[in-house]
Amino acid sequence: MLHFADSLTFSGRKVVAAWAALPFPALSGSSLPDVLSAHQDVPWQFLSSWKQQKVSCCFAQSVVLRGICQEKATRSSLHSESPEEVLQQYFHTQFPGAFSTSHVLQQPCHTQPPFPKFFSPLLSRRGFLLDKAQDFSSAGVESIPVLAALQSCSALHWLLWGLCQELRVAQVQRWSSFFTSGLEQEEFQEALEEIQTLAQCYETAFGADGDEEEGDSD
């Protein structure tokens, strides 16, 4: 995973964000172009406890879509294009200028026990959207389509900057156990400065300075 993340980072960036749509919202029988065109914005969620920020800029990403039948994708106006090309075009539209790789796998994500059963009653056994609620429990969902990505993007600016600000006000010097490993206060401060510098590597021209100044004033 470390080497994979390194392949998506450059210009001083070292961190990537994980995103996922689990399950990917798709109607059964829809072609891949139809499924993707139904979503103006990518319907995934930021896999972090940090408050999600809208991605104003993506620098690089690797995306995997699984569980959407490739055969159905070829029965469309884009029949001459492979599913990977269809997905690549979609993300080129969503994040123009970003370095992007796309992969489409026919096999879905299997959800047999002990996979947690937290699914909506509006999902079929194969994890596709239904017009009305199913008559069996969420335990009946056997598999789901999934869209997932690792992404070097502007959202990491907010995450890293917020982490730095929280650590500055935490007064960790009061927690003796925090430094039992031999970490010195100066080393801790240096680490905070490195996080702040790293956060600036993800800053874009869409304007984060005002929010940073507000955070400093707090």
* C-alpha closest to that of 46 among 74, 71, 25, 17: 17
Claim to verify: residue 128 and residue 177 sit in the same structural domain: no
Q: How far apart are CA 63 and CA 43, in angstroms?
A: 13
pLDDT tens sequence across 23-45: 999 998 888 898 898 888 899 98
**Would strands 17-21 and 109-110 be described as parallel, antiparallel, or unpaired?**
unpaired
Structural domain span for residue 161: 157-201
Claim to verify: residue 49 and residue 2 sit in the same structural domain: yes
- Say yes or no to pLDDT of 198 above 90: yes
Q: Is the pTM of this model over 0.85?
A: no
Claim to verify: residue 128 and residue 190 sit in the same structural domain: no
> Would you say 111 and 127 are in contact if contact means Cβ atoms under 8 Å apart?
yes
> Would you say 35 and 42 are in contact if contact means Cβ atoms under 8 Å apart?
no
Q: Is residue 209 situated within a structural domain?
A: no
Q: Is residue 163 situated within a structural domain?
A: yes
Q: How many domains does the chain have?
A: 2
Q: Is residue 44 situated within a structural domain?
A: yes
Q: Is residue 58 situated within a structural domain?
A: yes
> Would you say 109 and 126 are in contact if contact means Cβ atoms under 8 Å apart?
no
Claim to verify: residue 102 and residue 185 sit in the same structural domain: no
Claim to verify: residue 134 and residue 43 sit in the same structural domain: yes
Claim to verify: residue 76 and residue 163 sit in the same structural domain: no
Mean pLDDT for all residues in the chain? 82
* Centroid of chain to Cα 58: 11
Q: Is residue 217 situated within a structural domain?
A: no
Q: Is residue 139 situated within a structural domain?
A: yes
- Say yes or no to pLDDT of 211 above 60: no
The percentage of the chain sitting over the pLDDT mark of 90, rounded to a whole number, equals: 36
Query: Per-residue DSSP letters for 3-17?
Result: HHHHTT--TT----E
Q: How far apart are CA 101 and CA 165, in angstroms?
A: 33
Q: How far apart are CA 185 and CA 174, in angstroms?
A: 11
Claim to verify: residue 152 and residue 180 sit in the same structural domain: no
Claim to verify: residue 58 and residue 84 sit in the same structural domain: yes
Q: How far apart are CA 192 and CA 172, in angstroms?
A: 12
Claim to verify: residue 88 and residue 118 sit in the same structural domain: yes
Whole-angstrom CA distances from 37 to 34, 82, 118, 195 are 5, 16, 27, 38
Claim to verify: residue 110 and residue 72 sit in the same structural domain: yes
Q: Is residue 206 situated within a structural domain?
A: no
**CA atoms lying within 13 Å on the CB side of residue 29:** 3
Q: Is residue 218 situated within a structural domain?
A: no
- Say yes or no to pLDDT of 126 above 70: yes
pLDDT tens sequence across 127-175: 999 888 877 666 789 999 999 999 999 889 888 988 888 888 877 667 7
Claim to verify: residue 20 and residue 78 sit in the same structural domain: yes
Claim to verify: residue 58 and residue 141 sit in the same structural domain: yes
